Structure 1
Amino acid sequence: MSLALAVTAAFWGLVVVVAAGVMKRAALWRAGATAPVNLALLATIPKRYFVDLHDVVAREPEMARTHVFVAGGAIGAFGVIALNYGLMLYWPLLDWALLALAALMTVGAVRAVKRRMNAPARLSRGAWQRFPQLLLLTGAGLLVAGAALLLSQGVGGEAQAAEGASAAAPVAGGFALLLILPMLAGALPLALGIGSGGPLKHAFAGLLHLAFHPRQARFDKRAAQGERTALAPLDLPAKEYGVEKPVQFAWNRLLSFDACVQCGKCEAACPAFAAGQPLNPKKLIQDLVVGMAGGTDAAYAGSPSPGLKVGAHEGSPDAPVVGKLVEPQTIWSCTTCRACVQECPMLIEHVDSIVSLRRHRALVEGDIPGKAPETLDNLRETATQGGHDNAARANWAIDLGVKLAEPGVKTDVLVIAGEGAFDMRYQRTLRAFIRTLKAAGIDFALMGPRERDCGDTARRLGDEATFERLARENIAAISALSFARIVTPDPHVFHSLANEYPALGGRWEVLHHTTFVEQLVAGGRLKVGQSAEQREVTYHDPCYLGRYNAGYEAPRKLLKTIGIAVVEMERAGPRSRCCGGGGGAPLTDIPGERRIPDMRMDDARATGAGLVAVACPQCTAMLEGVTGNRPDVVDVVELVAATLEVK
């Protein structure tokens, strides 16, 4: 057998192994619940891979270059082999291309191996530690094979394609196999691992995941910036109550779990993990992979969820996830801040899966820890989280001479206060916001007692029924009023009304108060002065304004306009650390080693700032709850309103 024929045989052998592995994984995905299948989306893979995915990977430039070398070299090299040897063309010119691409792959693999010598703690070990070594062996093997193929074709002379060898360099069958053995030694274990859940499965699952992503709006630049989840109303009459078993996840979400590369970027970003609560997003995704395929978590070689042992959990496609496979406190530790989703290079949506699991616990099991059940009862009975008299929702503004919205009475701005209306501290912020509206001459009205809680907390806790009831009541009440736009100081209200109510029929222009006030200042309607604040100021990005709605610029522009130069925290903007107040986390109150708001205040202290500017009532409450010597906490609009008095 000539070397060329040996490469042809090896190539088709690997194709059979890879195809069998992909079919085995696909059978696991197909066991999931139905979801739309549009084969035309396969054509979107190149754009989504080179633009959307690499936009995330490029945040770590060194690793991005390594990925380009390894993936580009490997795909190119095997593409050339498929063309030249799979189709038995045996063109010497393509052997030169193979040699160049194999060299590129080898350089990338060397970089990957070097990185693993001093690997960050977030990276999984085990099979993932051996992965770069197998890639290096494959790349080096391709180099050897490529060089031998060029020699066997007779470099500088006529190719004898039919024989696959030159008269000057005859290659015996045994020697031919010996030459391609290094390539097979690396490529064959990688290919075999696809079916058994090895590292290379991510390459195929990841590409298909890009095409059939559960949240297609993620790739639509025309879509609203805030469409950051795939949460949708449940078909409650059909008894659709979230996810209990792996097979109840949609098939394309099961596919997304297999796309995970165990890089641990989600782990490093997760505030619950950093606080020592029993949640590691990476471990959770790998647990769901175990549940999809069946087995135990004993092979997991990454950081565990804090306080939980690895190897003590097992699952199967038709067995409940929460209990034996995933501990209940794991899903209740999540603040739904989306830091994990923001950092994931494979674009996996961890938060949606967590909420899906919570829905079953809330709607079927009725098993929610801490004070959350009491809060949900309050929402059902009073439409407020604290069990307040909803008629008192506008009492904080009684002395301000503010009108309340009434059907048939037109107004420009409808102000929805949110639950901060019942908090004495946040009422100061609301009053400051009213002063700015009056100073700008805005025609506005409070929704007041017509307002219900937006339902954000209920939905994140998994009580979809209560969310939908509150949402429909709010939609009916808002739709009866005449206004041009809604403005709210609460990012959770903003996100719910702007991005989640449309699925239930509520569609309006909704703005966060920092965006609206910044527009007033930029348009010249609101004249502000320079702040008298002498301390350095840092700004904390609320998760539901920032990561959920890309609302990073308006608060900073406002602070700059009034003469405040923001000293940024190390984790700011898209990588801001959560205050710990979202997702019902303060209600479930899962214990950890530290409190998330304490960690965030440490971030603020590290800047040397004496004041933390915020733009969310939950952030205000969580950060002001930090004890000890700390910076003061003030809403951006309070700082703006203060300049109206000193200008």
Structure 2
Amino acid sequence: MQQSLFTALLIASLVLFCFSCYRRLSLVAVGTGEYRFDQPLIRLKEMLVYAIGQKRVVRRPFGLNHGVIFWGFLVLALANAEFLISGVFPGLSFQLLPKTLAGALSFAFDVCSLATLVAVLVAAVRRTVRPPFPEARTFEAYFILGMIALLMTAYFGMHAAEIALGKVPAGATLPVSSALAGLLAAPALAVVLPGLPETFWWLHALVLLGFMNFLPFSKHMHILTAIPNVFLRTLGRPNCQEREQFAEGNRYGANSIDQMSWKDLLDSFSCTECGRCQNVCPAASTGKSLNPRLVVHALKENLLENGRSVTTGRPAALIGSDCGQSAEASLWSCTSCGACMEACPVFIEHLPKVVKMRRHLVQMEAKFPEELLNFFENIEQRSNPWGMAPSERVKWASQIEVPTFEAGKTEYLLFVGCSGAFDARNKQVTVALTKVLDAAGVSYGILGKEEKCCGESVRRLGNEYLFELVAQQSVEQFRSKGVTKVITQCPHCYNTLKNDFRQYGLELEVVHHSELIKELLDAQALQVGTVQELGDVVLHDSCYLGRHNGVYDAPRATVLELTGTPVKELERNRENAFCCGAGGGRMWLEEHEGTPINKNRVQEALAKDPDTICVACPFCMTMFEDGLKDHAGATTQVKDIAEIVALGLKGAAS
């Protein structure tokens, strides 16, 4: 009777589970096409490291506890498979295997069940006492943890009762169950003991089948989608956006689920709602309305609500104030720093989704913050954010002689960038950099008034059409002048010339000035002395130099060589560094919500009591200089890495 009833329940449960998964996962197909199956061996390796190995999960303090639950789930999947099969065919079990192997499996299942139960209890306490984010105390979360705990309890109850009744021998292969068997063998339980194995067996069966069918309807569907989502991740660093094709009748950006890619939609099902992205997001951390977790969650809700109506009608908008939508203000708060993507254990790509929605607002509805109107016009008409005349681009060099780039004669183009050419403070950095290059005998030249804005902020702000025009002009110019190697002092220019321009067929060897300076020092092409006046130095990692392009060590090594002392590290550094607040086009926008991001970062830096804050980005320079104005008594100075090396040149000369 038990066998027949269980077989019927199992078949019904499997059919319902497969149907539920199909109903949900088939919604992913409404997204646009995207190829994510190249380099399968590399993808497999990444999946083993990050999904199975839980590399990103365990690098946070509480992540090990989740790792125990996950690895326990993998091991116990074997035990549960045996349980289901033996429920239909009682003679089939691991006991048919050689005794040594069967014993090893029993031991593994017993110990893993205990480890998982303990980890689940710890997770429940942590979620109650110190949740990852305030909204984490949900019924669903506790229900899932309770079901896992019930599975472990039923497992121990079933085996311990069988040992207590003498049906299974106690011993080292079932250490935990054997210890519990002594409790169940107490005289007070003698009457109920004979029925306990079957009771716990059915408890285990019903909870397992119920848990399986609850998964597709809960956030824990990530158990099914997270591993393939890691396999399908963007290989390398996601530092470039998809290029749009401009033609009459096309739609641009995304304001409905069918305008997102299928991978964007799979991301929404893979979100574990762990809250790591919002905890590291500069906007969310400073009281802005943007929450990267909620952007992904809204996408999932919109997909579930409207996925089946895409082919029959117009799906609901992704941008708005209703359920399943992201607010406009939140989208403009993004600094494109990439911290959310760096923190995500399952490699959800939040930033491209935000940019796609920005593109829709800018290009389809002409809806964007008022400050950007002049910005876009200045880029289009004068090729710089301030609308300055092209002749002004070379005024920074009025007191020095700077060579002009000549094809076939000059090795490097020094791409000064708009900030380096027009901003008063960053002009000083440009001059310092040329002194360093001259001292090292580097063959370089500039384009002077012919240089154009690279368009980096334009692209991150969603004006892809304008970026297309800017990029095509620059690419044509570089090709006509024979530019193959470029030095930049701005990480935003660096990222655009190195990564974005590849989409236009231009392969450049781009080096950031911090990298080149390190190479020159290593080659002893620069003679520098010790710089004493810097005092204690803290280093701020630029998002577009660090997280987006992996350059962390060069500026640190240079400061060490120039001062003889390692930099003081900020609490949030390297891949965990906090944005200055200027990325994603925020350099050209005021902050109307919460606390200014740059003030948050400046306070973090001042907490280290530094004499000097070292940066390697003109945007960071501006944000730190502005942030320090609120600390009238502070004597801390901000220096670019090029300025520090230029001071060392003076030291060597003296």
TM-score using structure 1 length: 0.87
By how many angstroms is 1:271 displaced? 0.9
Distance 1:501 1:19 in 2: 44
Quick one: percent identity of the two aligned structures? Answer: 26
Q: Is the counterpart of residue 237 in structure 1 residue 239 in structure 2?
A: no
Tell me the equivalent position of 1:301.
none
Task: Identify the match of residue 135 of structure 1 among 148, 161, 174.
Answer: 148
Tell me the equivalent position of 2:532.
532
Distance 1:39 1:553 in 2: 30
Tell me the equivalent position of 2:315.
318
Distance 2:42 2:625 in 1: 50
Q: Give the 3 Å change call, closer, same or farther, for CA 294–468 of structure 1 in structure 2.
A: same
Paired letter, 1:134: M
Between Structure 1 and Structure 2, the one with more helix by share is 2
Q: Give the 3 Å change call, closer, same or farther, for CA 37–7 of structure 1 in structure 2.
A: farther
Spell out, residue by residue over 1:550-600, the C-alpha distance to the aligned partner (whole angstroms, 9 max, x if none). 111101111001014311111111111111111112434341221111111
Paired letter, 1:29: V
Paired letter, 1:450: E
Tell me the equivalent position of 2:187.
none
Tell me the equivalent position of 2:374.
374
Q: Is the counterpart of residue 282 in structure 1 residue 303 in structure 2?
A: no
Q: State which drifts further: 553-562 or 580-589.
A: 580-589
CA contact (8 A) 1:355 1:461 kept: yes
Tell me the equivalent position of 1:302.
none
Tell me the equivalent position of 2:566.
565
Tell me the equivalent position of 1:116.
127
Q: Superposition pairs for residues 99-178 of structure 1, below 5 Å?
A: 99-122=110-133, 124-126=136-138, 127-147=140-160, 154-156=167-169, 178=199
**Structure 1: stretches of 5+ with no match in the other structure:** 158-168, 219-226, 296-315
Q: State which drifts further: 43-52 or 238-247.
A: 43-52
By how many angstroms is 1:70 displaced? 1.4
Q: Give the 3 Å change call, closer, same or farther, for CA 183–504 of structure 1 in structure 2.
A: same
By how many angstroms is 1:90 displaced? 2.6
Tell me the equivalent position of 1:48.
47
Distance 1:256 1:114 in 2: 28
Spell out, residue by residue over 1:508-565, the C-alpha distance to the aligned partner (whole angstroms, 9 max, x if none). 1100000001100011111111002253111111110011111111011110010143
Distance 1:199 1:486 in 2: 47
Tell me the equivalent position of 1:427.
427
SS in 1 for 2:411: strand
By how many angstroms is 1:142 displaced? 2.7
Tell me the equivalent position of 1:90.
93
Tell me the equivalent position of 1:468.
468
Tell me the equivalent position of 1:222.
none
SS in 2 for 1:558: helix
Q: Superposition pairs for residues 151-300 of structure 1, below 5 Å?
A: 154-156=167-169, 178-184=199-205, 186-196=207-217, 198-213=218-233, 215=234, 217-218=235-236, 227-229=237-239, 231-237=241-247, 239-294=250-305
Distance 2:541 2:38 in 1: 39
Paired letter, 1:579: C
Spell out, residue by residue over 1:317-347, the C-alpha distance to the aligned partner (whole angstroms, 9 max, x if none). 8111112322110100101111111111121
Paired letter, 2:650: E
Spell out, residue by residue over 1:59-106, the C-alpha distance to the aligned partner (whole angstroms, 9 max, x if none). 124422x22321222222232332464273134336555434433322
By how many angstroms is 1:642 displaced? 0.8
Distance 1:117 1:531 in 2: 52
Spell out, residue by residue over 1:6-34, the C-alpha distance to the aligned partner (whole angstroms, 9 max, x if none). 77666555534432332122122122222
Spell out, residue by residue over 1:425-473, the C-alpha distance to the aligned partner (whole angstroms, 9 max, x if none). 1000000000000111111101222321111111011011111211111
By how many angstroms is 1:108 displaced? 2.5
**Structure 2: stretches of 5+ with no match in the other structure:** 96-101, 171-189, 307-312
Distance 1:503 1:520 in 2: 31
Q: Give the 3 Å change call, closer, same or farther, for CA 334–191 of structure 1 in structure 2.
A: same
Paired letter, 1:533: E
Distance 2:416 2:361 in 1: 30
Q: Give the 3 Å change call, closer, same or farther, for CA 44–472 of structure 1 in structure 2.
A: closer
Q: Give the 3 Å change call, closer, same or farther, for CA 10–63 of structure 1 in structure 2.
A: farther
TM-score using structure 2 length: 0.86
**Could you say what the CA RMSD is over the residues aligned between the two structures, in angstroms?**
2.9
Distance 1:235 1:250 in 2: 15
Paired letter, 2:593: G
Tell me the equivalent position of 1:622.
623
Tell me the equivalent position of 1:161.
none
Distance 2:41 2:207 in 1: 29
Q: Give the 3 Å change call, closer, same or farther, for CA 595–47 of structure 1 in structure 2.
A: closer
Task: Identify the match of residue 644 of structure 1 among 625, 636, 649.
Answer: 649
Q: Give the 3 Å change call, closer, same or farther, for CA 511–43 of structure 1 in structure 2.
A: closer
By how many angstroms is 1:288 displaced? 1.2
Q: Is the counterpart of residue 555 in structure 1 residue 541 in structure 2?
A: no
Distance 2:649 2:240 in 1: 42
Distance 1:468 1:278 in 2: 30
Q: State which drifts further: 102-111 or 588-597.
A: 102-111
CA contact (8 A) 2:239 2:499 kept: no
Paired letter, 2:301: V
Paired letter, 1:637: A
CA contact (8 A) 1:405 1:445 kept: yes
CA contact (8 A) 1:190 1:199 kept: no
Tell me the equivalent position of 2:184.
none
SS in 1 for 2:511: strand
Spell out, residue by residue over 1:142-168, the C-alpha distance to the aligned partner (whole angstroms, 9 max, x if none). 3333445778993259xxxxxxxxxxx
Paired letter, 1:633: V
Tell me the equivalent position of 1:498.
498
